[in-house]
Amino acid sequence: MRHALMLGVVLGLGGCAAPPAPSVGYLPAGAFGPADVQEDPQAAALSTAEEAFAHNGAMQGRPAQMALAVACLDAMGGQFSGPGRWVGTASTAPAQMRQARDEVRRILGIPLSAPSQVVIDRLVAFSRAEQSGDTAAAIAALQGPEFTKGPTATEALLAHFPGDEDADAATFAAQDLLFPMGGGSDGRD
């Protein structure tokens, strides 16, 4: 009886295990051009994502900028989950960032299991190629199992990304966490 009880407790605890941490990736050097040399890369990524998701209308027809914002959200969604400057915070921003990353991935057809670094690298490559007018390189960057909707549909979604309130709220909360005195906020209440 005692062994059966212990087995039941062990099996019951197995279902309580924490979910695996999300994949973590980082923006490549120069992702923001020459300006990122002097800026904190996490602050730059968060600012880029927050601006894009807060002002979705301004992003319409700007697939290169939206791709960079999505890459930033993907990076920060993972980085907020791991050890670092946000560990031990009482803020809900880390959970909001993970949820926003998952939602944006669903919209774009990027599997939740796709490695963050691969997603980030491909989105940044697309952004750079799109900005330089290299259509072939832009399309090539969106090919592969990470982009299940295919390059043409993914590019169209980036060009006309639907508003996402979760991403807007998450990036705003994360900005507030990074700049608690309002230094990075866009003034929203």
Tokens found for residue 170:
């998450």
Handedness of CA 50, 20, 115, 113 (dihedral sign): negative
Over the stretch 103-139, which tens digit does the pLDDT of each residue have?
999 999 999 999 999 999 999 999 999 999 999 999 9
How many angstroms separate the CA atoms of 36 and 56, rounded? 23
Q: Residue 12: pLDDT band by 50, 70, 90 thresholds?
A: very low
Over the stretch 46-69, which tens digit does the pLDDT of each residue have?
999 999 999 999 999 999 999 999
Q: How many residues does the chain have?
A: 189
How many CB atoms lie under 10 A from the CB of residue 135?
11
Report which secondary-structure segment, H or E, holds 8.
helix 2-14
* Residues 87/32, Cβ–Cβ less than 8 Å: no
How many angstroms separate the CA atoms of 63 and 116, rounded? 19
Q: What is the pTM of this model?
A: 0.82
Show me where the domains of the chain are located.
36-178
How many angstroms separate the CA atoms of 117 and 74, rounded? 9
Tokens found for residue 15:
């279902």
Which range among 10-24, 77-91, 99-113 shows the weakest confidence by mean pLDDT? 10-24
